[in-house]
Structure 1
Amino acid sequence: MPNERLIEVELAARLQVSRAVVRTVLVRLGQDGLVVLTPNRGAHVRLVTEAEAAEILQVRAVLEALTARQAALNATAREIASIRRLLDRMARKLEQDDLLGYSDGNAKLHAAIIAAARHETAARLITGLRAQLVRFQYRTILVPGRPSQSFEEHTAIVEAIAARDPDAAEVAMRQHLGHVESTLARTATAIRRRPAHPDSPRTI
């Protein structure tokens, strides 16, 4: 959970690894922006605020628009066929009202597009940014009406890549992540306005 303390000895016992391994991993997570390391006080899970999440999505929109453009230029026929299959699976998850399954498919589709782009620097940066949005990953897809809109946006991205149209692919990806950002902002507003209840979950 955000701000949760990460105690080396407890993590080592739970994961059945040495404290040296835990310490190394915590340093790496700190470099990735997921953990805060404080001298003489240990580590805790970093809280990503709503405002920071919006900024991360803005940066992702630029980087993933680049990968969509490059995928339209570089994807092989086999990769495009694989991307289409992922989109088809997302459609089936949507028909089954399996929103968590749809969200997992969404992540796989984005990963396939990034891989097809063959842009290692963008891929590395996107991976780090996505990791910081873990606690927000299911929030937007649970908004009424958002799943069908999301599928239309993904379809536009895939069709542009398949048509080898880099301009359209770039625009479609920017629009998609822009809509994700605006939806996240609406959910944040709704959560702030919701009456506090001791048993209510704090995040989705």
Structure 2
Amino acid sequence: MTSPAADDAYLRLRHLIYSGKLMPNERLVEADLAQRLEVSRAIVRTALVRLGQDGVVILTPHRGARVRVVTDAEAVEILQARAVLEALAARSATRRATAREIGGIRKILAGMSRKIDEGDLLGYSEGNAALHAAIIAAARHETAARLITGLRAQLVRFQFRTILVPGRASHSLAEHTAIVEAIAGRDEEAAEKAMRHHLGHVEAALSHTNRRIIGES
């Protein structure tokens, strides 16, 4: 059993990776992280071992740790797995979301629409992440939430790429609108279908950018 301090360091370090503040392939120096988190190097070492077990960090003997790099092909597989889990979450949210939570989800969606009008694609991408997180929270499906969190962490370096595909932003907003309306309407089948449809299009957009990058290299 780990200590509360070790658990806290693990969660904080995981958040730094999930949020992109620590980037894929970035070297993780124990002394630097200990200073950043204001904990001992032993606690950092324990947190890194746990993150290695999660598949988020690569630990190499005598060479230290790095944030794991996900390949383009693996990113597509991750999106396929997410589509199944997030469709389940969307379906669960239609039954379990409170009126307050649905109001919050609608508010996030409205903010995403404004970001598109302003041409702020980074802001839109942040709203996108917030919307998915709100739906997952409203679903109250702990196992799905835990698995989705782990999968999303692997896509840090891909999360903004797909929204740069010409015309993708407006299509993305329409897809998210369909998801939100289905949840608000308590339509389980429609919510599940809309989420699968959305993440299927994200997968296609990512595949498109992968082909373009390969063609340019």
Same fold (TM over 0.5): yes
Identify the residue that residue 175 of structure 2 maps to in structure 1.
Answer: 153
Residues 1-204 of structure 1: pairs in structure 2 closer than 5 A: 1-13=23-35, 16-195=38-217
- Structure 2 distance, partners of 1:101, 1:32, is 29
Q: In 1, Cα distance between the equivalents of 2:179 and 2:46? A: 39
Q: Distance in 2 between matches of 1:174 and 1:139?
A: 20
Provide the rounded CA distance (Å) in 2 between the counterparts of 1:105 and 1:181: 19
Distance 2:104 2:38 in 1: 38
Identity among equivalent pairs (%)? 72
Deviations 1:13-33 (A, max 9, x none): 455542112212212221222
SS in 1 for 2:58: strand
Query: How many residue pairs are counted as aligned between the two chains?
Result: 195
Write the distance in 1 (CA, Å) between the matches of 2:97 and 2:33. 42
Deviations 1:28-53 (A, max 9, x none): 22122221112333212211000110
Residue 12 of structure 1: how far off its partner (Å): 3.1
Give the residue type in structure 2 aligned to 1:108. Answer: A
d(CA) in 1 for partners of 2:36, 2:139: 39
Task: Spell out, residue by residue over 1:73-104, the C-alpha distance to the aligned partner (whole angstroms, 9 max, x if none).
Answer: 11111111111111111111111111111111
Question: Please, what TM-score do these two structures have when normalized by structure 1?
Answer: 0.90
Gaps of 5+ in 1: 196-204
1:149-187 Cα offsets, whole Å, 9 max, x none, are 000000000010111100000000001001001100110
Residue 4 of structure 1 and its aligned partner are, at CA, apart by: 3.4
In 2: Cα distance, 1:6 partner to 1:118 partner: 33
Aligned partner letter, 1:70: S
Secondary structure at the counterpart of residue 69 of structure 2: coil
For each residue in 1:100-154, what CA deviation from the matched residue of structure 2 results, as whole angstroms up to 9, or x when unmatched?
1111111111111111111011001111111111111110011110000000000
Partner SS for 1:116: helix
Segments of structure 2 that go 5 or more residues without pairing to the other structure are 1-22
Q: Which residue in the other structure is 1:200 paired with?
A: none
Query: Which segment is superposed worse, 186-195 or 162-171?
Result: 186-195
2: CA distance between counterparts of 1:117 and 1:123? 9
Corresponding residue of 2:17: none
Give me the CA root mean square deviation.
1.4
TM-score, normalised by the number of residues in structure 2: 0.85
